[in-house]
């Protein structure tokens, strides 16, 4: 409201108008309010269901019938009926049926967890099919001596291809593990302390470490994700060019991007930092990069230029 100079009463009225539109539940500030708005639309604003969604949403999520009965002073059967109505007739996302974009969820290919002070690497094999060669065809080749030569050659060839495919799948998993092991070694400070402490790293460093070709490391890290204590990252994220410093070790470009993002998040919105001002602040931290490099990194971070980040001061 400060940015738009809108009065609180005007904002509340506009929100009320939006919440009156279809589908019921849109314009809500949270899930609890959305569910209540849907109940209100069908005249159940004073029902047990309304009391539950307004005041006991965590107990609704866990379906804690005993705690709900105690909190609302109602019988368990009434609670069960109210919860059944909520889950059957209401939705926490009323706008979802009208969405046109498909949501693509990231499923990590590997997990790095700290257990008893040590980092443990665990591959995600949930989507890896459990394949094995057919014993039927193996026995057929071994026992059927009268099989035609062309048939024997055909079955033998298919078994050989299948065996190669299965071995390739497991070799791929072993390679991902070795690459992750190497990344953990090179980027240990990142796993301990976060993106600010990402070190410069190139494909050749990891390739030499695990004694594989750079192209193999490049393929394995493309579109592969790791779940870390710092969040979920693409494996490619850990490779970053070096930004030299006069004193101390060089910084990874990704680490500099994190600093730029933090500066912009903490800037005075009435007087936001220009790319040149950011470059000067970085220079004060012994990070010397050109203004155009700051602009490039800012664009990569999808942060608007200074003129679009400036907010007008609210009136006294």
Q: What DSSP line would sit under 97-109, residue for residue?
A: GG--SPP-----S
What are φ and ψ of residue 271, in 5° steps? -135, 70
Count CB atoms within 10 A of the CB of residue 303. Answer: 16
248 confidence band (pLDDT: 50, 70, 90): low
User: Which of the four pLDDT bands, split at 50, 70 and 90, describes residue 311?
Assistant: low
- Let me know how long the chain is: 316
Q: Which residues, in sequence order, are bridge partners of residue 102?
A: none
Q: Above 60 in pLDDT, residue 185?
A: yes
Using CA atoms, how far residue 71 sits from 65, 66, 251, 269, in Å, is 10, 9, 55, 45
Contact 77, 112 (CB under 8 A): no
Q: Is the pLDDT of residue 104 over 80?
A: no
- Tell me if residue 113 falls in helix, strand or coil: strand
Pair type for strands 110-115 and 225-228: parallel
Question: What percent of the chain clears pLDDT 70, i.e. is strictly above it?
Answer: 95
User: What pLDDT is stored for residue 43 in this prediction?
Assistant: 92
Read off the pLDDT of residues 285-297 as tens digits, 9 standing for 90 and up: 888 888 899 899 8
The answer to whether residue 127 scores a pLDDT higher than 90 is: no
Q: Which helix (H) or strand (E) holds 87?
A: helix 76-89
> Is pLDDT above 60 for 313?
no
Q: Out of 7-11, 115-119, 186-190, 280-284, pick the least confident.
A: 7-11
Q: What are the chain's domains?
A: 8-98 (no CATH), 110-238 (no CATH), 243-309 (1.10.10.60)
Helix H or strand E segment including 33:
helix 31-41
Answer yes or no: is pLDDT of 210 > 70: yes
pLDDT at 153: 84
232 three-state secondary structure: strand
Structure tokens at 300: 């990569």
Q: Is pLDDT larger for residue 129 or for residue 177?
A: 177
pLDDT band (50, 70, 90) for residue 149:
confident
- pTM above 0.85? no
Across residues 79-96, what is the average pLDDT?
90
pLDDT-above-90 percentage for the chain: 33
Write down the pLDDT at residue 48. Answer: 93
- Residue 179: pLDDT over 70: yes
Q: Regarding predicted confidence, which is higher, 6 or 221?
A: 221
- Residue that wins the pLDDT comparison between 23 and 133: 23
**Per the structure block, which two tokens stand in for 113?**
């967890």
- pLDDT, residue 128, reads 73
């Amino acid at each position: 409201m400060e940015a738009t100079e809108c009065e609180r009463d005007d904002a509340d009225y506009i929100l009320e108008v939006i919440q009156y539109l279809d589908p019921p539940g849109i314009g809500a500030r949270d899930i609890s309010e959305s569910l209540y708005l849907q109940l209100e639309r069908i005249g159940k604003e004073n029902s047990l269901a309304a009391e539950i969604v307004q005041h006991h949403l965590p107990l609704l999520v866990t379906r804690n019938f005993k705690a709900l009965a105690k909190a609302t002073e109602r019988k368990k059967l009434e609670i069960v009926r109210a919860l059944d109505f909520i889950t059957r007739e209401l939705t926490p996302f009323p706008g979802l049926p009208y969405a046109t974009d498909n949501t693509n969820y990231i499923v990590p290919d590997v997990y790095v967890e700290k257990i008893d002070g040590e980092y443990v690497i665990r591959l995600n094999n949930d989507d890896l099919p459990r394949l094995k060669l057919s014993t039927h065809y193996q026995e057929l080749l071994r026992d059927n001596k009268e099989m035609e030569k062309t048939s024997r050659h055909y079955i033998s060839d298919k078994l050989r291809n299948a065996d190669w495919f299965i071995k390739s799948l497991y070799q791929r998993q072993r390679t991902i593990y070795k690459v992750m092991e190497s990344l953990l070694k090179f980027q240990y400070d990142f796993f301990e302390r976060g993106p600010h402490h990402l070190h410069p790293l190139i494909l050749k460093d990891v390739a030499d470490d695990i004694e594989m070709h750079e192209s193999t490391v490049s393929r394995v890290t493309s579109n592969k994700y790791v779940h870390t204590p710092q969040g979920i990252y693409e494996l490619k994220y850990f490779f970053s060019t070096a930004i030299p410093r006069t004193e101390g070790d060089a910084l990874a470009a990704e680490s500099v991007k994190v600093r730029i993002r933090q500066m912009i998040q903490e800037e005075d919105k009435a007087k936001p930092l220009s790319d040149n001002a950011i470059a000067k602040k970085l220079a004060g931290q012994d990070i010397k990069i050109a203004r155009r490099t700051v602009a490039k990194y800012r664009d990569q971070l999808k942060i608007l230029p200074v003129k679009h980040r400036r907010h007008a001061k609210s009136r006294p």
